[in-house]
């Protein structure tokens, strides 16, 4: 059984004006997501600015989320690192905190050979007993999990069960699924490719869009699973312009701007990320007004 099916939100980490994590606001966002029908919470991923959280903040965000969600939907903790020792540490602590699963990004900057990726992911996965989803996002990390590597990994570690695929390369996605012989659950890592991913047997999406449109992102998946492919596609197409605006600058700059436009008060970003450019923000606001998300 898949760790989850449908729309999992790659949730932002709200900050106070002084840059501290705003846990009270995080609690509000979690309730907003659950009320909107989100199928899973992914905490401390790219969208959650994990790379600029201290280890203590990172783990406290996971603990807080597990406690607040209280088993209502799965909580998946981003615990990847470009240091295997750090990934093992964060992963084992997330398991202790009660996370239902882990999201492990490919090592960034130092990257790795495919042999190195197998050793990195296998060592991290074997340190825990909970399910692991690999995160393949070469545009952010400069490192790709090749289909043959994914196939080797699911044999190497039984708890590697899924992949968040943000390659944008559907041919590579299909080759990965073929070589894994049905033993890997595939999730779209791109909001503009939810329906294409579902059409080839994907289990859902790990989504930025869900931050601002949880019900609609859930419904794209739910309608598809119910057999209403036309309805699912209509929603996917309706939100394509918004998705484009949510990625007009590096994630999570636009989605935090969007949440602030909605009055959610998620606060600033941590450097080196800076506030959204005015021209991009105006286009984002215009699209949100068109969709009735803001006045």
What SS3 state is found at 291? coil
Active site residue 178: no
* Per annotation, catalytic residue among 25, 64, 68, 135: 135
Task: Using the CB atoms, write b or e for 77-101: b if 16+ within 10 Å.
Answer: bbbbbbebeebbbbbbbbbebbbbb
Q: What is the DSSP letter of 50?
A: G
* Per annotation, catalytic residue among 68, 164, 223, 256: 164
> Token match 């400069």: residue?
142
Active site residue 164: yes
The encoded tokens of residue 239 equal 């939100």
CB of 42 within 8 A of CB of 30?
A: no
Q: Measured between alpha carbons, how far apart are the two ends of the chain, in Å?
A: 42
> Token match 């699912």: residue?
232
What SS3 state is found at 228? coil
Q: Give the distance, in angstroms, between the CA of residue 254 and the centroid of all CA atoms in the same chain.
A: 15
For residue 40, which of 221, 269, 167 has the smallest C-alpha distance? 221
User: What gap in Å lies between CA 126 and CA 121, rounded to an integer?
Assistant: 8
For residue 45, which of 32, 61, 31 has the smallest C-alpha distance? 61
Active site residues: 135, 164
């Amino acid at each position: 059984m898949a760790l989850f099916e449908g729309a999992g939100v790659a949730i932002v980490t709200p900050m106070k004006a002084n840059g501290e994590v705003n846990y009270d606001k995080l609690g509000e966002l979690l309730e907003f997501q659950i009320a909107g029908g989100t199928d899973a919470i992914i905490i401390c991923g790219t969208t959650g600015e994990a790379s600029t959280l201290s280890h203590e903040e990172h783990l406290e965000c996971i603990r807080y989320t597990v406690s607040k969600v209280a088993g209502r939907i799965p909580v998946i903790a981003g615990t990847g690192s470009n240091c295997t020792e750090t990934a093992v540490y964060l992963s084992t602590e997330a398991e202790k905190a009660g996370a239902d699963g882990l999201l492990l990004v490919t090592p960034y900057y130092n990257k790795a050979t495919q042999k190195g990726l197998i050793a990195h992911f296998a060592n991290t996965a074997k340190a825990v007993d909970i399910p692991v989803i690999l995160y393949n996002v070469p545009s952010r990390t400069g490192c790709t999990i090749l289909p043959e590597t994914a196939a080797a990994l699911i044999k190497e570690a039984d708890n590697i069960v899924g992949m968040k695929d943000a390659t944008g390369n559907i041919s590579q996605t299909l080759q990965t699924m073929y070589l894994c012989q049905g033993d890997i659950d595939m999730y779209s890592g791109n909001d503009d490719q939810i329906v294409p991913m579902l059409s080839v047997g994907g289990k859902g999406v790990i989504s930025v869009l869900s931050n601002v449109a949880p019900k609609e992102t859930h419904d794209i998946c739910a309608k598809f699973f119910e057999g209403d492919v036309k309805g699912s596609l209509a929603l996917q197409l309706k939100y394509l312009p918004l998705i484009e605006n949510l990625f007009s600058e590096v994630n999570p700059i636009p989605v935090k701007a969007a949440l602030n436009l909605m009055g959610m008060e998620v606060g600033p970003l941590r450097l080196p990320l800076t506030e959204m450019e005015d021209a991009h923000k105006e286009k984002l606001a215009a699209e949100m007004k068109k969709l009735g998300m803001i006045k």
